[in-house]
Structure 1
């Protein structure tokens, strides 16, 4: 089976193409269906996760009574921005770069991921500038008033990532947990959307390449190359998209015990151009290794599969507010990485719009207000079997599946056009 993207695009234009989500394919495989005999033309994939390798380039004017030559420091809602590369001397225009890992100097556990989401929500942002003449300027800005706002990925959509445990005898502060990571391998966290992850479905980059059109946070963007620390065995992508068209619900900040991190989402269409591409698509969670790392030393100590995380587990959190015990300190409110849980009028509330479905609330709530089956890691260390419960997921499989379905609908309606890459990432 060899065919071109142009062949598949022609079938799409004639309304003759078969488009399926990666989840739909995997469900058929699990049922024992012979998917190889089906004429599948396009498979839609997606992932939503913490993606630290993110930055925004913003350019906008500021209202100021001061005529300044250049800015030396800029803060957006307290998040530091790097001035330049264009100085815009005496124009009253700021060109800045904001790293996704930047933390606010004003608001605890507020970072660039929160800032990017609030911009996409249309909220007004505080701009604080220190000029080269050491004058202070305060202004406000909305995304709609920024002529240029692009989000760049430097290291996104890993071909899945890893699970983490803490095998040391001391708690560890880390970006891989919402709170301190408890010692002695009592719990595990993980990242990766398994069988529906884009690069997992095209690991040789046969269809994903430079110039491939994708959806980043819901906005059309493009792959611009391989990501940092990418390799043929462990590929990831760089990309860019316009922030003005992004869906705020697919973005955000995620609180960790080492500070806030940045959430990003990708949806990618995989045209089934060859047997090798189809072979990768037919891999299910049970076939996909999930490396288990020691979070303290960042070394591999075992291997599981993504079935431990995503087979027979809950995608979303079950919410039963009537079970609330009115604890003096509500741990779900205190520990929620998205601040999606709050109390109002003596009633516990869950904001589904903010919720990342990480599941951590279900592991700390004594009353069962929040419940979810998150799975258990099964692996061996030096011949000894280990069963470690998963307490936190840093990938949102539920919304990733929804994104893949939405991309499928866009392709079938003609709203999203498949395009051929300009150049391969790996020869």
Structure 2
């Protein structure tokens, strides 16, 4: 039996549709309340993670017409931007592309800049012209009529966990501190049962033109991303920055430099038995490859239940236990700059990565889970590069918007192929 998106959309319009988050579907399935195609119409999924393949395209009037011939280089808040592709000769207009991983000093990068813009903060644009002059001005997102964020490879169908088998710590984008050696700790990415493509592994309900939420703004899938394969597909898409929400964005400082946080909310219409079977798959059945950070080779395969079941999604703070150290390692190493004095966590910035609970367990507490090796070794998670707490909020927000009619599911114009 197959259903169409038009059929499901009509059920939503009539107020008859059953729309559930991916977590709700699993819960009902365990109770035996979901087993047939007609039991659920749409599953809302989401992921919030460090996603390197992110860039912004910005186009705006920068100066008076005729004031300069062309821009040859630019920086925004010190972050390098690429000028082009349109020369805009003597128009006073500039087109800029900013990579999410570009940065000015190792602590502030494209991800930080994108969030600052969406939060309404003024940023400084510095331009070098073709005749050797420097022009600067402050600007806000409201003054940038064209501002879009694109993803080149986002929302992998679950990513990987990483361990360091070497004898020395290693600086890497997969940890906020030099990666602990001798398999003494692990990092991982992927939101398990919430992950969009985990709920649609055959790509039959998500395609080119599928309407999604990117950082809370309506956007569209434009294809599969780079390095997408049939075994591990990912998505490429875009959305308008003007409608984005800062809580779903940000910069994440790793031991190898700043990275970019992006969030996706994706509706998965239950079109077939294949989609339903994927939507009710328990977390313990979702594979999580464990890779050696040095060789990027897979050592074994664990599962996402080991890192997302019986854990704390947020970090708990015990301020009475703080010794007010002059050099607070948790504050200094926090990849989001979310720890403040007197000791507290700025929840609007916190990514729930859990690193502070590893560095200062007396003050910061969180069960992060562990990854079991084939020989029975439990390797503690020392960093999460996915934020399941906010991903769950995004999936719930998408559900509510579908039900109240403010978000319409859309049929794709073409099926995706890895």
Relative to structure 1, the CA distance from residue 257 to residue 66 in structure 2 (aligned partners, 3 Å threshold; closer, same or farther) is: farther
Query: C-alpha displacement at 1:64, in angstroms?
Result: 6.6
Aligned residues of 1:171 and 1:183 also touching (Cα < 8 A): yes
**SS in structure 2 at match of 1:333:** helix
Relative to structure 1, the CA distance from residue 66 to residue 407 in structure 2 (aligned partners, 3 Å threshold; closer, same or farther) is: same
Give the TM-score normalised by the residue count of structure 1: 0.96
Matches of 1:328 and 1:298, distance apart in 2: 38
1:372 counterpart = 2:397: no
Matches of 2:314 and 2:343, distance apart in 1: 18
Residue of 229, 232, 241 corresponding to 1:231: 229
Gaps of 5+ in 2: none
Cα shift readout 1:370-417 (whole Å, capped 9, x = no counterpart): 10000000122xxx3321000110000000001000100000001100
Query: C-alpha displacement at 1:34, in angstroms?
Result: 4.2
Query: C-alpha displacement at 1:18, in angstroms?
Result: 0.5
Corresponding residue for residue 11 of structure 2 = 11
Matches of 1:271 and 1:171, distance apart in 2: 45
Deviation >3 Å, runs of 4+:
63-66
Aligned residues of 2:173 and 2:257 also touching (Cα < 8 A): yes
Matches of 2:396 and 2:173, distance apart in 1: 30
Corresponding residue for residue 62 of structure 1 = 62
Cα shift readout 1:128-159 (whole Å, capped 9, x = no counterpart): 11111111111111100001001101000000
Aligned residues of 1:313 and 1:374 also touching (Cα < 8 A): yes
Corresponding residue for residue 350 of structure 1 = 345
Corresponding residue for residue 91 of structure 1 = 91
Aligned residues of 2:166 and 2:181 also touching (Cα < 8 A): yes
Cα shift readout 1:74-122 (whole Å, capped 9, x = no counterpart): 0001111100000001111110111111111xx4410000000000001
Aligned residues of 1:48 and 1:400 also touching (Cα < 8 A): yes
Residue of 338, 341, 344 corresponding to 1:340: 338
1:35 counterpart = 2:34: yes
Corresponding residue for residue 71 of structure 2 = 71
Matches of 2:410 and 2:132, distance apart in 1: 49
Residues 272-291 of structure 1 correspond to what in structure 2 (within 5 A)?
272-291=270-289
Aligned residues of 2:368 and 2:381 also touching (Cα < 8 A): yes
**SS in structure 2 at match of 1:277:** helix
Cα shift readout 1:258-293 (whole Å, capped 9, x = no counterpart): 000000000011111110110111112101010000
Corresponding residue for residue 382 of structure 2 = 391
Cα shift readout 1:2-54 (whole Å, capped 9, x = no counterpart): 2111111111111001010001112233x442410461111100000001001
Matches of 2:296 and 2:417, distance apart in 1: 27
Query: C-alpha displacement at 1:322, in angstroms?
Result: 1.6
Matches of 2:324 and 2:25, distance apart in 1: 44
**SS in structure 2 at match of 1:255:** strand
**SS in structure 2 at match of 1:36:** coil
Aligned residues of 1:64 and 1:139 also touching (Cα < 8 A): no
Matches of 2:9 and 2:106, distance apart in 1: 49
Matches of 2:212 and 2:48, distance apart in 1: 14
Relative to structure 1, the CA distance from residue 65 to residue 89 in structure 2 (aligned partners, 3 Å threshold; closer, same or farther) is: closer
Aligned residues of 1:64 and 1:138 also touching (Cα < 8 A): no
Matches of 2:107 and 2:251, distance apart in 1: 9
Matches of 1:426 and 1:130, distance apart in 2: 42
Aligned residues of 1:172 and 1:182 also touching (Cα < 8 A): yes
Matches of 2:32 and 2:189, distance apart in 1: 29
Residues 138-177 of structure 1 correspond to what in structure 2 (within 5 A)?
138-177=136-175
Cα shift readout 1:218-268 (whole Å, capped 9, x = no counterpart): 000000001001111110010010000000110000010000000000001
Aligned residues of 1:157 and 1:236 also touching (Cα < 8 A): yes
Corresponding residue for residue 416 of structure 2 = 425
Residues 172-251 of structure 1 correspond to what in structure 2 (within 5 A)?
172-251=170-249
Query: C-alpha displacement at 1:297, in angstroms?
Result: 1.3
Aligned residues of 1:269 and 1:407 also touching (Cα < 8 A): yes
Give the TM-score normalised by the residue count of structure 2: 0.98
**SS in structure 2 at match of 1:417:** coil
Task: Report how many aligned residue pairs link the two structures.
Answer: 417
